[in-house]
Chains A and B, each alone.
Chain A
Amino acid sequence: MTLDELYDEFDFLGDWESKCEYLIELGFDLPPFPAEAKTEEHRVHGCQSNVWLVASVRGNGPPTIDILADSDAMIVRGLIAVLLTVYSGRTPREILATDPQEVFSRLGLDRHLSSARKNGLLGMVKRIRTLAAEAA
């Protein structure tokens, strides 16, 4: 799914209840995360629930960054799915040019997330942007 398709989907859903249920659906469909990667090194701090994130750079030509992440909270998994749509498979330049706040406010999620979850998201975005900056 592209980011534009995600915007369309969220516009279609309308209210928070439908968006929340959709996030849960996205969470169930999140690509599997290797159990052995659930280590302290990959843990994202700032989240109330456990979140793990790994990123790898795909070389050959302009590099792109692949991201995998997981959480024990299903709505957080849904938010991770949104983040992967925004960031995974993108070039470092694309990643650094994307304003995460804009994405979440465009999706209408910012009003419904607790400050703990916003911090957690920010923690994930920060890690992705750091990796992008290193690969750029």
Chain B
Amino acid sequence: MSETIPDHVFDVEAVRRDFPILGKPLSTGKPLVYLDTGASAQKPQAVIDAERECYENYFANAYRGVYQFGDRVSQALEASRETVRALLNAASGEEIVFTSGTTMSINLVSNAWGRKFLRPGDEVLVTEMEHHANLVPWQQITREKGAALRYVPITADGRLDLDQLDEVLSDRTRLLAVTGMSNVLGTVNPIGELVRRAKRVGALVLVDGAQSVPHHTLDVRHPEIDFLAFSGHKLYGPTGVGVLYGRRELLDAMDPFLCGGHMIERVEREHSTWAELPAKFEAGTIPIAQAIALKAGIEYVERLGFDAIAAHERALLRYAHERLGAIPGLTIYGPAVEHKGSIVSFTVAGIAAEDLAVLLDLKGVFVRHGHHCTMPLHAVLGVSATVRASFGLYNTRAEVDALVEAIHFARRKLRLE
């Protein structure tokens, strides 16, 4: 029916034992079927331990105290920054800024780069499949600067319509802000080609990696990506911490976004000068224990191997498409399996999205419903809400079966079968 993963490559049952929450039954006694990893991933014990150990053994504020804990915290943070740098193959740790998450990272660029460099008549190019976090900041800054916001349209099967790219990408385009992987359609975008074509007209490229970074290896220098934003919590790491990668030359040229402690070199009564990178963009106290434990999340994923995880998730996705596709009235939005990551958004004729999510919850199946922070995309799709199942490295074929069974249960309750 679909390819199977040899046990020696990826033992999902062993993986599941690394996640304490997955072994616990729900209050109803039913097992948890967690299919909302696209919203936030569950945490392996190694991440929970890393955060707890920081608080239990050596916590202090960072980059300030000369006492022993201060030094240890700073070292742990820099070790985590180095792990992120290596993950992205960035040229230097100074290009890795810790933020509160993808949203903050993108707002940092829209404010610190956009406010300084956008001019009236300039254009920022986004796509019809962007999450609000990679859309609304650009609406705001282009409006403020008298610049225009343009959209790369999508095809009927939910991929970027590259045939129409030249209509919207021109020498007026200053920046292309694009998701690495759609949080609704699952579409994996051709970043290499987009970067090549954007560079040809002199535009910068920002990649929203919230969905893509947890699933695929990415090298910010090949092709050359100017900005990359992602969140720790979707990468099996803690909440509250994210990353902005920016090319050094750009980060150097940008003004600070948030101002306060740690980001200054010298403060006088009338003006200030800025600290070196990355401190210039890390005002105040950053999420210390979370940024430290992000390292454990990345190392966990790397130990399992991105390729093995991708193969496992792809097999699950293929199986989910096969089984869901056989349910009467079920429509999957987005491209064929070979063009997407492990997200399946769908509607079932005769069942409102929220009703479906509520009924699946009765069976212990956790999915997301609504517009998934992509209202313009849903307008293009012509539906107000969809239900989304998203798979992580710990999900199983049995959980796909549970999803399918629960949808049949919902259809029976609504007298559709």
Contact = CB atoms under 8 A, between A and B. Distances in A.
Interface of A: 15-17, 20-21, 24, 28, 48-49, 71-76, 112, 114, 116-117
A117 B354 contact: yes
A17 B414 contact: no
23 contacts: A16-B362, A17-B28, A17-B362, A20-B359, A20-B362, A21-B413, A28-B415, A48-B370, A49-B352, A49-B354, A71-B352, A72-B352, A73-B352, A74-B355, A74-B414, A75-B354, A75-B355, A75-B358, A76-B355, A112-B358, A114-B354, A116-B370, A117-B354
Interface in B375-417: 384-385, 413-415
Nearest to A113: B358
Contacts of B415: 28
Given A16-B362, A72-B352, A75-B354, 11 more contacts: A20-B358, A24-B413, A48-B370, A48-B385, A73-B355, A74-B351, A74-B414, A75-B358, A76-B355, A112-B358, A116-B354
Q: Name the residue in B358, B384, B385, B415 with the highest tally of chain A Cβ atoms < 10 Å from its Cβ.
A: B358
B314 to A, nearest CB: 32
B362 A74 contact: no
Q: Name the residue in B351, B352, B355 with the highest tally of chain A Cβ atoms < 10 Å from its Cβ.
A: B355
What secondary structure prevails in chain A residues at the interface with B? helix
B284 to A, nearest CB: 30
Contacts, number: 37
Contacts of B384: 48
Contacts of A72: 352
Please give me the 4 A-B residue pairs with the lowest Cβ-Cβ distance, nearest first: A73-B352, A17-B362, A75-B355, A49-B352
Contacts of B355: 73-76
A112 to B, nearest CB: 8
Nearest to A73: B352
B348 to A, nearest CB: 12
A117 B353 CA distance: 12
A115 B384 CA distance: 17
B413 A73 contact: no
Interface in B336-360: 351-352, 354-355, 358-359
B28 A76 contact: no
Contacts of A116: 354, 370
B354 to A, nearest CB: 6
B290 to A, nearest CB: 26
Contact of B414 (A24, A48, A71): A24
A75 B354 CA distance: 9
B362 A48 contact: no
A20 B358 CA distance: 9
Contacts of A17: 28, 362
Contacts of A21: 413
A16 B355 CA distance: 14
Contacts of B413: 21, 24
Contact of B354 (A15, A16, A73): A73
Contacts of B362: 16-17, 20
A28 B413 CA distance: 10
Contacts of A49: 352, 354
Interface in B252-287: none
